Amino acid sequence: MATSSILPDRPLGIALIGTGFMGKCHAMAWRNVAAVFGGAHHRLEILSDATPESAESYARQFGFSRSTARWQEAVADPNVDVISITAPNGMHRPMAEAALEAGKHVWLEKPMALTLKDAEAMAATAARYPGQATMLGYNYLRSPAFQAARHLIGDGAIGRPLAFRGVYDEDYSADPLLPWSWRMTHEGGGLGALGDLGCHLVSHMLALMGPVADVVAQTQVAIPTRPSPDGPKPVENEDSAMALLRFTSGAQGSFATSRVARGRKCRLQWEVHGQDGTIVFDQENMNELWVHKTGEAGFVRHLSGPDQPDFAAFCPAPGHNFGFNEQKVIEARDLLAAIAGAPNVGPDFAHALEIEKIIHAMAISNGAVIRL
C-alpha cells in the first residue's frame, strides 16, 4: 500500500457519528494524524451519539467542539468536510448516502452495509460524486508487516502465488450464555462472523492474491438461541463459515472464520504459498512476518521496524512494537491524501463492494459454487 506525502493544505472539519470502540479509534486517529505524518491539524467540529447526554459526554472526552443526538445535523453542518461513521451496521447506508449528497468525504467502518443490495446502492451513490473521497475501515491492511508482505509478493520474492490459506477466528460469542443482541439478527447486524471478521480476511486475500473467480462455502449457527429478558431468542446470522475459492489467476484458496473459536482473540492468520517460497502472517503477532525461500532450511522471522512501510513515522527503532490504533492513524492519512488528490489506496466504496460480493456469496452458497 503506497504512502503519500500529499496532504490537504488547510484544516478540515471533522464530524464523528458513533462512539464505542471504533468511535474512540477514529477520534484518536484524527487527533494524532498530523503529529505523526505532518500537515494541518484538523478541526474536531461535532460528535453525534444516540442521546444528548452521551453525545455531550463523548464530545468532551474526545475533544470535539460540539455535540448532537441527531446525526443529520452533523451531516448538514457547513463547517464539516469529512464524516467518520462508526454507528451500528443498519445505519451505514442512510448515513453514508446523506453525507455524500451533502458534499462530504466519508470514512465508514466495515462492514459496508447490511445487504449486498445496500452496498451496491452505496457504491452507485459514491460514483455520482467522484470528487468526494470514500474509505472503508479495513485497518488491518495498514500494518507495516502486512504492507511489507504485499510488497514482497508483488515484487516476486516468492514467485508466482499458488495458494492462499486464511483464518480469522475470535471467541467473543463462544459463551452460550452470552445475551442475545441486535448483532445476531439480519435486520440489525446483517451477516454474522462473515460481516464482522471474515470481511477483514477477504480484504487481505484480495490485496495479496487478486480477484476471486468463484467460491463454494458453508455456514453454521453453532448456538441457535441466546438468552434475553423475554426468554430465548433465535440467532439468525452465522457463527462461523468455511470456503474454498479459485482466483482469476488460477491460484487456489481456503478461508475460515468464526466468532465462537474458544481461545482465539484476533487470529487473522494467513499464508501464501508461491513457486519459490511462502509468507506467513498472524495478527495476534502483528509485528512478525515469517518468510521461507527456496534453498533455505526453514522460515526466517522478520521483526517490524523502520524498513517496513509507515513504521518509521511512529518509531525509529526496530522491534519496538506497532499497535492496533496506529493502523487507524495510517488509514486517516490515506483518506486525507485521497482528499488532497493522491490516488485512493482504499478500499473506497467501489473496491469495498468487491469484498461484500464475496462474503455475501459465501453466505448463500450452502455448498453450491458461486461465480463472482
pLDDT tens string 299-319: 999 999 999 999 999 999 999
SS3 115: coil
In this prediction the pTM is 0.96
Ordered by start, the domain boundaries in the chain are 13-139, 140-371
Which residue in this structure is represented by grid cell 466519508?
106
Which residue in this structure is represented by grid cell 453454521?
220
State the fold for domain 140-371: Dihydrodipicolinate Reductase; domain 2 (3.30.360)
Please name the CATH architecture into which domain 13-139 falls. Answer: 3-Layer(aba) Sandwich (3.40)
Cα 270 from Cα 279, distance rounded (Å): 8
Do the Cβ atoms of 85 and 92 come closer than 8 Å?
Answer: yes
Per-residue pLDDT of the chain (372 residues; tens, 9 = 90+): 444 568 998 999 999 999 999 999 999 999 999 999 999 999 999 999 999 999 999 999 999 999 999 999 999 999 999 999 999 999 999 999 999 999 999 999 999 999 999 999 999 999 999 999 999 999 999 999 999 999 999 999 999 999 999 999 999 999 999 999 999 999 999 999 999 999 999 999 999 999 999 999 999 999 999 999 999 999 999 999 999 999 999 999 999 999 999 999 999 999 999 999 999 999 999 999 999 999 999 999 999 999 999 999 999 999 999 999 999 999 999 999 999 999 999 999 999 999 999 999 999 999 999 999
- At residue 59, the pLDDT reads 98
Task: Let me know if the fold of 13-139 is the same as that of 140-371.
Answer: no
Q: How far, in Å, are 7, 151, 163, 192, 272 from residue 251 at the CA level?
A: 37, 18, 5, 27, 10
Tell which residue, 308, 306, 326, has the closest CA to residue 317.
306
Residue 356: what residue type? E
Residue 363 DSSP code: H
Exposed (0-12), middle (13-18) or buried (19+): which is 157, by Cβ within 10 Å? Answer: middle
Q: Which helix (H) or strand (E) holds 46?
A: strand 43-48
- At residue 117, the pLDDT reads 98
pLDDT in tens, 202-247: 999 999 999 999 999 999 999 999 999 999 999 999 999 999 999 9
